[in-house]
Amino acid sequence: MKWLKFMVPALVLSLAAAGCILVSGQFLVDFALDDFDVSTESTVTREDVDLNTNEDYADHKDELKAIADIAVLGTLKNNLSGNIGIEVWMTATPTTYTTSTEVSNNATKLWGPFVVLGNASKTVDWNESANLFSGPGKALLLNEIKGDGQFTIYAIGNSTTYSVDVDNGVLAIVLDFGK
Partner 1 sequence: MRKLFAIAALTSLVAAGAAHATGVGVGVFGGLSYPIIQDDVASGSMLGLRAPVSLAPMITVEPFYASSSLGDAEVTLGGLPYTREGFSGKAYGLNVMLGSPIGMGFKFYPIVGIGKYKLERTGTDINEVGYNIGLGIGIGATPKLSLQVRGELELVKTGDTSRKFGNATAGLTYSLMP
Q: Which stretches of the chain bind partner 1, using CB under 8 A? A: 1, 4, 7-8, 11-12, 14-15, 18, 20-22, 24-28, 30, 32-33, 65-66, 68-69, 71, 73-75, 123, 125-128, 130-131, 133, 168-170, 172, 174, 176-178
Strand, helix or coil for residue 179: coil
Q: Which is nearer to partner 1, 20 or 139 (CB)?
A: 20
| Least spacing, CB of residue 15 vs partner 1, in Å | 5
Residue 163 CB neighbours (<10 A): 16
Least distance to partner 1 from the beta carbon of 77, Å?
A: 14
Among the listed residues 148, 32, 53, the one whose alpha carbon sits nearest the alpha carbon of residue 93: 148
What is the closest distance, in whole angstroms, from the C-beta atom of residue 14 to partner 1 in the complex? 6
Compare residues 60 and 104 and give the one whose CB is closer to partner 1. Answer: 60
Q: What is the DSSP string of 37-82?
A: EEETTSSPEEEEEEGGGSHHHHHHGGGEEEEEEEEEEEEEEE-SSS
- The least distance separating partner 1 from the CB of residue 90, rounded to whole angstroms, comes to 18
CB 45 within 8 A of CB 38: yes
Closer by beta carbon to partner 1, 75 or else 104: 75
Judged by beta carbon, residue 13 or residue 159, the one nearer partner 1 is 13
DSSP state of 165: E
